[in-house]
Structure 1
Amino acid sequence: MKNLSIALNAVLIVAVGILYIFHFSGKEESKMVTATAGEGAVVYINTDSLLSNYNFSLELNEKFLKKQEDSKTDFNFKAQKLQKEANDFQRKLQNNGFLTRARAEEAQQKLIAKQQNLQQLNRQLTDQLMGEQNANNKRLFDSVTNYLKIFNAGHKYSLILSTTKGGNVLLSQDGLDITKEIIDGLNGRYKGESK
């Protein structure tokens, strides 16, 4: 979810830069942005609130956390099993339980191979979870931006910014924070899609 916040803040910086250029370029076609939330206004959305109240985001996060926990449980089970095998090997080695030194070395090589396989599995699971998290972030970002295009067709805001708690917007006039309106609209749309 932090990746979405970073991406939205990057879009914010680019948008502010473009607005700055148009506003101060002195061209006739640049319009003065109004200070109230009406046509041509600059408004913002708190992405922390959006992510914690948008049902689609909550559902994606819940599914991801369950998958992450299942992967962790499965990996821990395999790691414990390997640790038990290593302990058994050590005990057998200390008690001279191997007929020959070659058999002890063979058993040790098998344990090393299993440990390497477990490390490889850990990397694969981590990569898989990161890929899924990135895909979820993209789906969420696409969902929000597609809705904002529809939403803004009726409102005609010049710029819709994103911020986070302690982010770029520290104070604004009343009416410029459209977070609740966007969350309500997204959840209404999501409820209609999930039926």
Structure 2
Amino acid sequence: MKNLSVALNAVLVVAVAILYFVQFSGKGESKDVKTVAGEGAVVYINTDSLLSNYNFSRDLNEKFLKKQEDSRTDFNFKAQKLEKEAVEFQRKLQNNGFLTRQRAEEAQQKLIAKQQNLQQLDRELSAELMGEQQANSKRLFDSVTNYLKEYNASHNYSLILSTTKGGNVLLSQDGLDITKEVIDGLNARYTTEAK
């Protein structure tokens, strides 16, 4: 992991050096934004902004949160029902409400089985939600990368990086952040596909 971090830092230093050289080797020539982010340029997308402003991402997240809330509500209802049964069992046991010890043990075994079933349900719900979240992440990643292939066909960037707030890109020249343009294109495509 440490070697990967060192390698990434080395790549970033080289990339910054190249950008510095390209920017300041123009001998006083004026460069506009189109020249900076033209063919062969290295540009980036802020993934925090992309995820919060891409309608497909928001829709997937909203559906996932609803399913998570519904699952949690259903599970909590079953847990409360089991808790009431356990309290009732304890009350009955303390008041000698069972005719025989065998009946008390059978009732206890039923409660234990219900508790194990509830724990199994919790594990299954967690696994199902985790699987859905991974599937949503894959769908979102595929959607963005497929769009970027189309987008880059007309821009010919050498490299499109992703960053997050406080990530690897701390400062860049104007025109290298293509986040808004990509979000607008993704949302337009999503709106068209949803019709």
TM range (shorter): 0.7 to 0.9
Letter in 1 for 2:154: G
Q: Does 1:174 align with 2:174?
A: yes
Corresponding residue for residue 29 of structure 2: none
Q: Secondary structure at the residue paired with 1:160?
A: strand
Letter in 1 for 2:147: Y
- The question of whether the paired residues in 2 share the 8 Å contact of 1:34 and 1:40 is answered with no
Structure with max Cα Rg: 2
Aligned residues between the structures: 175
Instruction: Provide the aligned C-alpha RMSD in A.
Output: 2.3
Q: How does 1:1-80 map to 2 (within 5 A)?
A: 36-80=36-80
Cα shift readout 1:151-175 (whole Å, capped 9, x = no counterpart)? 0000000000000000000000000
Q: How does 1:120-135 map to 2 (within 5 A)?
A: 120-135=120-135
Normalising to structure 1: TM-score of the pair?
0.84
- Quote the Cα distance in structure 1 between the aligned partners of 2:127 and 2:155: 41
Q: Does 1:152 align with 2:152?
A: yes
Corresponding residue for residue 97 of structure 1: 97
- The question of whether the paired residues in 2 share the 8 Å contact of 1:34 and 1:41 is answered with no
Q: Secondary structure at the residue paired with 2:154?
A: helix
Unaligned runs of 5+ in 2: 24-35
Q: Secondary structure at the residue paired with 2:72?
A: helix
- Quote the Cα distance in structure 1 between the aligned partners of 2:96 and 2:68: 42
Cα shift readout 1:125-164 (whole Å, capped 9, x = no counterpart)? 0000000000000000000000000000000000000000
Unaligned runs of 5+ in 1: 1-9, 25-32
- The question of whether the paired residues in 2 share the 8 Å contact of 1:34 and 1:42 is answered with no
Cα shift readout 1:72-130 (whole Å, capped 9, x = no counterpart)? 00000000000000000000000000000110011000000000000000000000000
Displaced runs of 4 or more, over 6 A: none
Corresponding residue for residue 187 of structure 1: 187
- The question of whether the paired residues in 2 share the 8 Å contact of 1:47 and 1:162 is answered with yes
Corresponding residue for residue 28 of structure 2: none
Q: Secondary structure at the residue paired with 1:146?
A: helix
- The question of whether the paired residues in 2 share the 8 Å contact of 1:47 and 1:164 is answered with yes
Q: Secondary structure at the residue paired with 1:168?
A: coil
- Quote the Cα distance in structure 2 between the aligned partners of 1:34 and 1:69: 52
Aligned identity (percent) is 79
Cα shift readout 1:42-99 (whole Å, capped 9, x = no counterpart)? 0000000000000000000000000000000000000000000000000000000000
Corresponding residue for residue 138 of structure 1: 138
- Quote the Cα distance in structure 1 between the aligned partners of 2:49 and 2:22: 25
Normalising to structure 2: TM-score of the pair?
0.84
Distance apart, 1:34 and its partner CA: 5.2
